[in-house]
Chains A and B, each alone.
Chain A
Amino acid sequence: MAASALVGLVAAACGSSSASPKSISGKAKQTIVFAESGLGTEGAQTAKAIKGFEKANPNIKVSIDVLSPNSTTYLSQLEHDFISGSSTPDVFESDVTYPAKFAQAGWVKALTSFHPNMGQFFSHEVAAGTYHGTTYAIPWFDNPEGLFYRTDLIKTPPKTPNQLVADAKAAMKADPHLKEGLAFEGAKYEGAITAFLTVDSAFGGKLNPSNINTAGNKAALSFLYDSIYKYHIAPTAVTGWQEGQVEQEFVSGYTPFAIDYPFVESLATSAPVKGHVGYIPFPAAPGGTPGSALGGEMLAINAKSAHAAAAWKLISYLTSPSVEVARAEATGDPPSLPSAYTSALYAKAPYFKAVKTLNSYSAPRPVSPNYLQISSDLQNMISAVYANSISPASAIAKAAPTVRSDASATPSS
């Protein structure tokens, strides 16, 4: 802790000596730094795309800075660069929840001057990159969270949450290999919020920071709580599960239902789940709509970059249809361009049909410069409920004023 604080302090102290943006001729040979978190196939695909970019733009060399795959550490690493006033990375991968905060802090460059064609992207992800009407980040790929189910065990996908519970119980009874009926992210981290959000709109809920104490939100959180303590279809172990553990439960054949991101589909490559994977929005309760949560990654430019034009060229290249499709086929990262969802893509990876359906339902998390504080409040609320320390209704009632206060906090307050 002390070390982190020291790094932050020293970084802040050095901030005043930062480099100021310089305009560099488009013809000059230049190197830009691209910070991203991709490892494995994602990292390899990024490297491949960068090679293609460098070939098309011989005057620009891209240095890839691979940061932590852990989202919290990744954010800290980026923040240290920005706080110190560093002009690198020039371009960086950003979670959908970062742009508003970065824009308010003055760390990212407004992209208006590049005249981006935002109409070509999914509109909900465009909204995540927009702050006070200005575009600060471009959608790179779009990750709608939804409900996976085993098509061999669940013959007809459930139409309501109650039916999901009944199906899960029946499946657990019929198949002794199943260890639970539903797996979801319940650890105290950002994923617990997206799992909750996936269920939330199915009960008519909405994560509006000015008032989260609504009947829909209470019903959604109660459902997840009940799945552990009343229906007994989810184990208490969910309190330690992130998306990786949920994916493991599903692809290992331990659960007929799992709330997770699309990447699970590409990993379900062996028995007993191979060829038996369905992916749908969370079934709606009366008064709700099918549920999905918006996840995804965007691309943005450091406000102090000396190579903004080159950085923009890279963003344009990485978000072009052919590059996005190549990434989707190689890594399973769903394109952020609706136009990329073609029959050719479906022929190679049929599950993208389901992903596109989920895209039309995916609910965004609050777009706020104070989102990290809001997220912390929500994580506290959700983890306390899953640990059975407080009832869902009481937890939401208790968290509502804190969320409202944090969301509306300004420098003068």
Chain B
Amino acid sequence: MSGQAIAPAAASEAAPTGGGGGTARRARRSSRRAADRRLGYALVAPAVILLLAITGFPLVYNLWNSFHYVNLSYANVPQHFVGLSNYTRMFTSSSWLASLERTLAFTAVSAVFDTAVALGLALMLHRRFPGRGLLRAAILIPWAVPTVVSAMLWQTMFDPRAGFVDYFLGIVHPSWGSLTWAGASVLRSWVVVFIADAWKNVPFVAIILLAGLQVIPTEVYEAAKIDGATAWQSFRRMTLPLLKPAIMVALVFRTLQAFFVFDVIYIMTGGGPGTSTETLSFLNYQTFITNTDFGYGGAMSIVLIVMALVIAGVYVRVLRPEL
């Protein structure tokens, strides 16, 4: 913004000058630039201060906590420095390691599956058909619904008494008409979590991919058609390569969303049966809220953030040419 303000002034004063008048003009120009800079800083300051307050401060405070004993359940125990013990406790904790495995597995499956489904959806929405505009708008509804609400909706839909899922399964096969989902088995619990999570997030990925499809020039397809390329060949040799940047952006978003999965698990399974659907974020929540252990919880949060940064960094490094 400040750059745009400076440019015309700089252009108008680009003409050759000489003598004392030139020095005065240079001084005025320098003063104006400084004023512009100050204005720029003043304009972005509120946003920066707000960001520092709601993001920077908790982050730093969390980092400080992670090196201290901070358990709010003990009124008479002062906070004290414990070095890396919160971190070593975490890295040797079987429950944290098991949650890490689950989180990574869920992230990998969700990112790949959801992106694949979203690609199909985006290709469909890219074609011309009656009601396309309406469908494009409608597809965003699941994304606009808060996760807690969508998780509760799916919980109701999978309810063996009141849900429609078992009703329709029962039509297909009578013995499927009274299946219990969340909580009844590890596999079924993950299935409902996965479906509810995908329902919520696939539309967002699809919209990113649709935007990517729309910037591919139609001439490319026309040329391929003239050359006799089949639909599959067009998709394989042109759509996919040209869509790669959009796919990668979608993958980054989806991977990080899945990595931090919490709400849908909190609502649908409570981390159960046993601890079988506990993810890193769920465990982190329990440590903060149930155990009020802000030192250990802080260490977990810091490691979560570092892992997310690593994931994002890997994507950026791999995709730099396209991005």
Interface residues of A (CB under 8 A from B): 1-2, 4-6, 8-10, 12-13, 76, 79, 83, 101, 104-107, 186-189, 235-237, 239-240, 369-370, 372-373, 376, 379-381, 383-384, 386-390, 411
Contact = CB atoms under 8 A, between A and B. Distances in A.
Interface stretch (B6-14, B121-129, B130-138, B268-276): B268-276
Q: Interface SS of chain A: helix, strand, loop or mixed?
A: helix
Given A1-B263, A387-B272, 11 more contacts: A8-B294, A83-B72, A105-B74, A189-B270, A235-B160, A235-B178, A237-B160, A372-B291, A373-B290, A379-B270, A411-B71
B242 interface: no
Contact of A239 (B65, B70, B184, B276): B184
A10 B58 contact: yes
Contacts of B182: 239-240
Q: Interface SS of chain B: helix, strand, loop or mixed?
A: loop
Contacts of A187: 183, 270
A373 B95 CA distance: 14
A188 B270 contact: yes
Interface string B17-59: 0000000000000000000000000000000000000100110
B272 A384 contact: yes
A1 B281 contact: yes
A388 B294 contact: no
A8 B286 CA distance: 12
A8 B289 contact: yes
Contacts of B284: 1, 5
Interface string B279-298: 00110111011111010010
A240 B74 contact: no
Q: Which of A8, A9, A10, A79 has the most CB of B within 10 A?
A: A9
Contact of A105 (B69, B73, B276, B282): B73
B28 to A, nearest CB: 47
Given A5-B297, A188-B271, A380-B275, A240 B184 contact: yes
Interface string B242-279: 00000000000000000010110010011111111000
B50 to A, nearest CB: 14
B61 interface: yes
A383 B75 contact: no
B260 A2 contact: yes
A122 B244 CA distance: 70
20 contacts: A1-B281, A1-B282, A2-B281, A6-B58, A8-B294, A105-B73, A186-B183, A187-B270, A235-B178, A237-B160, A237-B161, A239-B184, A240-B182, A369-B73, A376-B290, A387-B273, A387-B274, A389-B186, A389-B273, A411-B69
Given A235-B160, A389-B273, A1 B72 contact: no
B150 interface: no
A1 B285 contact: yes
A188 B273 contact: yes
Contacts of B72: 12, 83, 105
Given A1-B281, A240-B159, A79 B289 contact: yes
Interface in B74-128: 74-77
Contacts of B234: none
Contact of B286 (A10, A235, A376, A386): A376
B32 to A, nearest CB: 41
Contacts of B74: 104-105, 411
Contacts of A388: 185
A387 B160 contact: no
A186 B180 CA distance: 12
B301 interface: yes
Nearest to B161: A237
Contacts of B183: 186-188, 239-240, 383, 386-387
B161 A380 contact: no
Contacts of A236: 160, 180, 184
B180 A1 contact: no
A105 B269 contact: no
A235 B274 contact: no
A4 B294 CA distance: 12
A379 B286 CA distance: 13
Nearest to A189: B270
A370 B74 CA distance: 10
B96 to A, nearest CB: 14
